[in-house]
A = this chain, B = another copy of it.
Amino acid sequence: MRRSRDVSELVAGARGGDPRAVARLITLVENGDDLVPQIAAALAPHTGNAQVIGLTGSPGVGKSTTTTELVRVLRGQGHRVGVLAVDPSSPFTGGAILGDRVRMQQHATDTGVYIRSMSSRGHLGGLAAATPQAVRVLEGAGCDVVLVETVGVGQAEVEVASLADTTVVLLAPGMGDAIQAVKAGILEIADVFVVNKADRDGVDATYHDIQGMIGLGERGPGEWRPQVVRAIASRGEGIDEVVAAIDKHRGWLVERGELRRRREARAAAEIEAIALGRLRERIGSLRAGTALPKLAAEVAAGTSDPFTAADTLLRDMG
């Protein structure tokens, strides 16, 4: 009872722009607290409209600098911006590069920006489950753009892509990233490529490599062709162009009905994951009961088989 009232108060606080309420809600979400369903229910009426931008790339490619610069441009356009850093190498999550952290601190005094790092806190699949809820918290708190930054290795990009309306992949010259991107399946998920550190040697090669690879992809008429933008995030150069490319992609999403389709597919995946988690819990709770040990003893003795036993177990679950 007490805690239920807390949720109403916290959501009201977050809606009113209290950063402590936002922080508390994200912590609850991150920890997979029992209150998460209530939080989600309380936030639902205030969600469904924020633009979610995923930003990914290998360590060292300039993700946090680019994020900082994107926040600057988006703020200049009058947006309220939320940042979720689910990147363990991000300066926002602890592995700090001082220069970036200082620069980001500009925004720390700006009440139109909410910056938050996320960690999995050890529970399996936790981050994948918590991130969409955290996006809802930020949207409930009035952010109309949410940037989700993840490190670009393996599964993480795919999860960003499934969460974001638009996925931005950062590359840097001379890191073999164009080739690596193809190997890692990044080509399929990127809506916008940013070739960062465009003052470095090899930028033209990287730019043309990635353009070449995009050219090889088959796409029907009206399908989105990933944009490639050059930037020097550390000097703020090219960031307006990145934002323009993101906006262009959003325009395409809306025009094609793809935004709605993506968001519904995302919601469906989320509902399924929660339902599956609930079913797992039910099975787990059966361990404590008497049904499973009895069935297991029958199977071990050869008087039943595991498939018949599983059917019995499921029937008894009701």
Q: B-contacting residues of A (Cβ < 8 Å)? A: 36-37, 40-41, 43-49, 132, 260, 263-268, 270-272, 274-276, 278-280, 283, 286-287, 292-293, 295-297, 299-311, 313-314
Contact, CB under 8 Å: A263 / B300: yes
Contact, CB under 8 Å: B313 / A296: no
Q: Assembly of this chain: how many copies?
A: 2
* CB of A79 to closest CB in B, whole Å: 19
Contacts of A266 in B (CB 8 A): 300
Select which of B37, B43, B307 is within 8 A of A41 by beta carbon: B307
Contact, CB under 8 Å: A41 / B308: yes
Question: Which of A36, A49, A310 gathers most chain B CB within 10 Å?
Answer: A310
Contacts of A49 in B (CB 8 A): 302
> Given that A37-B308, A263-B300, A307-B41 are contacting pairs, would A280 and B270 also be in contact in the complex, using a CB cutoff of 8 Å?
no
Question: Which of A264, A295, A311 gathers most chain B CB within 10 Å?
Answer: A264
Contact, CB under 8 Å: A296 / B268: yes
Contacts of A297 in B (CB 8 A): 264, 267
Contact, CB under 8 Å: B48 / A275: no
Contacts of A304 in B (CB 8 A): 44
Contact, CB under 8 Å: B306 / A40: yes
* CB of A220 to closest CB in B, whole Å: 23
* CB of A4 to closest CB in B, whole Å: 14
